Amino acid sequence: MNTIFRQNQLYTFLLYCNDTYLNKEVLDCGAGGNIPPLAIFSEQGYKTYGIDISSDQISRAKKFEEKNNLNLAIKQGDMRSLPFKDGSISFIYSYNSIFHMRKEEIRKVIKEIHRVLPLGGLAFINFASTNDWRSTIGECVGQGEYLQEENGQKILHSYFAENEAEKYFEGFKIIYKENRIREGYANAETKITLGFIDYIVEKI
């Protein structure tokens, strides 16, 4: 496999995981898609587990797995109720996924992640921030919560102020936080600003 991943935080999280003495096992929440990030964990000798709520995204990942002769163990599932025992998985990764839920649901998901990690276990979780150009676009359904059109569907996005998400990290220590404001082009003319806040947290 010679794949380069667009989500470059994946590499940062992997280095943090490699740097512990915990069992090499990782769960990706929102694990599907054309280039499943679990592939690089697998290549680095990790036992992988994935869940995704979308069967389409799981099918896309399966195609990648077949092409690259991998079995990443991605199943359909819901982050709000993780099908894993307490303290059973050392590392949990969730990229550009959790903020498609309402804020009260996000709180529940992070409690679930806490439950499934052992002491010292690490999670990567990122949030869309209020720096994002879309952060007030669409139908407002709650504070910082918007329904936005994407490919003809209404998709929920929750946006977070700089430290807002940290209230969910009870029982965790934040060991890494990056507030990223990215400027780029949606097309040749349209300049846009994307905002994300990435966390790596350790269960304490």
Given candidates 143, 180, 186, 204, which one binds a second copy under the rule CB under 8 A?
A: 180
C-beta of 12 vs 23, nearer to a second copy: 12
| Per-residue contact string for residues 17-56; x = within reach of a second copy by CB under 8 A | -x------------------------xx------------
Non-local (6+) Cβ contacts of 161 within 8 A are 129, 130, 144
Given candidates 59, 80, 182, 186, which one binds a second copy under the rule CB under 8 A?
A: 182
Beta strands in 53-171 (DSSP E): 74-76, 91-94, 122-129, 139-142, 145-150, 153-160
Given candidates 67, 183, 189, 190, which one binds a second copy under the rule CB under 8 A?
A: 183
Contact between 135 and a second copy per CB under 8 A: no
CB of 165 to a second copy, least distance (A): 13
Q: Show the DSSP H helices in 38-187 as ranges.
A: 38-43, 55-67, 103-116
Non-local (6+) Cβ contacts of 96 within 8 A are 7, 30, 126, 196
C-beta of 141 vs 192, nearer to a second copy: 192
